[in-house]
C-alpha cells in the first residue's frame, strides 16, 4: 500500500467546503436517538433512517465521507443497493467505526479504556473489502480536579496508535478520536490543559508506533467550558482556546481536524467551527465529523413517519450546508432562517 494513497484519501475527506457525517451510532446509541422521537429501535427503522440520510439529494456537495456502524456497512439501501456502494456512487467515501466501546479502566475509578484491538487486523481487511477507506476509534476522558490520570491518558494514546498503525497497514485512513467529555463544571482553562496533555501523549505514541501522520485525521473535542459551568465561554473565546491548543500540539503534517460535536447544540457546533475558520488560514483544514449536530434537525423532522422523509432530508441538507459554510468561515447565524430547499 503506497502511503500517498492514504494521504489522498485523508485530503479528499477534508476537501474545500466538506466534512463528515458520523452515522456510526451503535445499536444501543441509536436507541437513545430513536427514543427521543418515540421510534422503535428495529432493524427496518435503522435502515429507513440511514437510507433517508444517505439518499438526500445534493448533500454530497458538503459531505465527503460517512462513518458507518458494522450493521450499516453490511446493509442495503431501500432500493437494494449496498449502503457503501450507494455512497460511492455519489462520490462519498465510506468509513467504519472499529472500536468496540469505552470500558472501565482497571484500577482507575471513573475512567475508561477503549477496547477492540484483538482481531482488528482481520476486521480491517474485511471492512476494506466492503468498501471502507477510513475508520474511527474513540477514546473518552472525563475532567475533574483529579481526572484524567496519566495512566488513562497514556493507555488510551497507546491503543489509539496501535489502531492507527493497523489501519494504515490495511490501506485505511485512521481517524484518531480522543474525546474529552465536556460534561461538568470545569472552566475553559481546565479543558484547555487536559486537551493539551491528551494531544501531546497521542502524537508521541503515533510517532513512536511509526504512524504516517499525513495519512491520518484528528477528531477532537473543541475546548469548551463544562456544560454546567458558571459563566461559560462565548464563541470567540472557544475558538481562541481551541486554536491555541491545536497550534501547540497538532503537527502541521495532519491534513485535517474534523471535530466531534459532543453534545453541543447544532447551532453552537456550527458557530464554533466557523469562528475558528474565520481566524485562518491554518496549517490544517478545520472541518466537522458531527453526529448529533448534523442529525438532530433530521431526526426531529422525521419522527419515524414515511410522509416526513422529504422534510427530514431538507433539514439534514440545510444543516450540512451551514456546516459546509463554516469550514470556510462563511456561516452567519441569519442563515439558520433560510428556507431549507432540497
Binding residues for ligand 13P, rule: CB under 6 A, are 22, 138, 177, 260-262, 290-293
CA nearest neighbour of 37 among 261, 266, 308: 308
* Residue of closest CB approach to ligand 13P: 291
Q: Where are the alpha helices (DSSP H) in 170-306?
A: 188-208, 235-249, 266-278, 292-302
Give residue for cell 450507494.
86
Distance CA 270, CA 265 (A): 9
Catalytic one of 18, 97, 197, 219 = 219
Contact 90, 79 (CB under 8 A): no
Helix (H, G, I), strand (E, B) or coil at 275: helix
Beta-bridge partner residues of 256? 285
Choose between 291 and 324: whose C-beta lies nearer to ligand 13P.
291
Helix axis angle, 292-302 to 43-54, nearest 10°: 110
C-alpha 116 chain-centroid distance: 18
Choose between 138 and 197: whose C-beta lies nearer to ligand 13P.
138
In the residue annotation, 150 being an active-site residue is answered as: no
Catalytic one of 25, 97, 136, 177 = 177
Q: Where are the alpha helices (DSSP H) in 99-149?
A: 120-129
Q: Which three cell numbers stand for residue 108?
A: 482507575
Least distance (Å) between residue 306 CB and ligand 13P = 25
What backbone torsions phi and psi does residue 328 show, to the nearest 5 degrees?
Answer: -115, 5
In the residue annotation, 146 being an active-site residue is answered as: no
Least distance (Å) between residue 80 CB and ligand 13P = 28
Q: Which three cell numbers stand for residue 128?
A: 476494506
Distance CA 63, CA 97 (A): 17
Beta-bridge partner residues of 97? 136
Least distance (Å) between residue 179 CB and ligand 13P = 6
Choose between 111 and 177: whose C-beta lies nearer to ligand 13P.
177
Least distance (Å) between residue 2 CB and ligand 13P = 28
Choose between 51 and 99: whose C-beta lies nearer to ligand 13P.
99
Contact 136, 219 (CB under 8 A): yes
Choose between 27 and 207: whose C-beta lies nearer to ligand 13P.
27
- Phi/psi region, residue 17 (left: phi>0; alpha: psi -120 to 50; beta: rest), is left
Least distance (Å) between residue 176 CB and ligand 13P = 12
Least distance (Å) between residue 38 CB and ligand 13P = 20
Choose between 230 and 285: whose C-beta lies nearer to ligand 13P.
285
Q: Which residues are catalytic?
A: 177, 219
Amino acid at each position: 500500500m503506497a502511503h500517498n494513497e492514504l494521504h489522498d484519501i485523508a485530503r479528499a475527506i477534508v476537501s474545500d467546503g466538506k466534512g463528515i457525517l458520523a452515522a456510526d451510532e451503535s445499536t444501543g446509541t441509536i436507541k437513545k436517538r430513536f427514543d427521543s422521537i418515540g421510534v422503535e429501535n428495529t432493524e427496518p427503522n435503522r435502515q429507513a433512517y440511514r437510507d433517508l440520510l444517505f439518499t438526500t439529494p445534493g448533500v454530497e456537495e458538503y459531505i465527503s465521507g460517512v462513518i458507518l456502524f458494522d450493521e450499516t456497512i453490511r446493509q442495503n439501501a431501500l432500493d437494494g443497493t449496498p449502503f457503501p456502494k450507494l455512497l460511492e456512487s455519489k462520490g462519498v467515501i465510506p468509513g467504519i467505526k472499529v472500536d468496540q466501546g469505552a470500558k472501565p479502566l482497571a484500577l482507575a475509578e471513573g475512567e475508561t479504556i477503549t477496547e477492540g484491538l484483538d482481531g482488528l487486523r482481520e476486521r480491517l481487511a474485511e471492512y476494506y473489502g466492503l468498501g471502507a477507506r477510513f475508520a474511527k476509534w474513540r477514546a473518552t476522558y472525563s475532567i475533574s480536579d483529579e481526572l484524567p490520570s496519566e495512566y488513562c491518558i497514556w493507555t488510551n494514546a497507546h491503543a489509539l496508535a496501535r489502531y492507527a498503525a493497523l489501519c494504515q497497514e490495511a490501506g485505511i485512513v485512521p481517524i484518531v478520536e480522543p474525546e474529552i467529555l465536556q460534561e461538568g463544571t470545569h472552566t475553559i482553562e481546565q479543558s484547555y490543559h487536559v486537551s493539551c496533555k491528551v494531544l501531546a501523549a497521542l502524537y508521541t505514541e503515533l510517532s513512536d508506533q511509526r504512524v504516517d501522520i499525513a495519512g491520518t485525521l484528528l477528531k477532537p473535542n473543541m475546548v469548551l467550558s463544562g456544560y454546567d459551568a458558571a459563566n461559560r465561554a462565548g464563541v470567540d473565546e472557544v475558538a481562541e482556546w481551541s486554536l491555541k491548543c491545536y497550534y501547540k500540539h497538532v503537527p502541521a503534517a495532519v491534513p485535517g481536524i474534523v471535530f466531534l460535536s459532543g453534545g453541543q447544540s447544532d447551532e453552537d457546533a456550527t458557530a464554533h467551527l466557523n469562528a475558528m475558520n474565520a481566524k485562518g488560514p491554518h496549517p490544517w483544514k478545520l472541518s466537522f465529523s458531527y453526529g448529533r449536530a448534523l442529525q438532530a434537525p433530521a431526526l426531529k423532522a422525521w419522527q419515524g413517519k414515511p410522509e416526513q422523509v422529504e422534510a427530514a432530508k431538507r433539514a439534514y441538507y440545510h444543516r450540512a450546508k451551514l456546516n459546509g459554510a463554516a469550514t470556510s468561515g462563511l456561516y452567519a447565524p441569519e442563515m439558520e432562517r433560510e428556507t431549507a430547499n432540497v
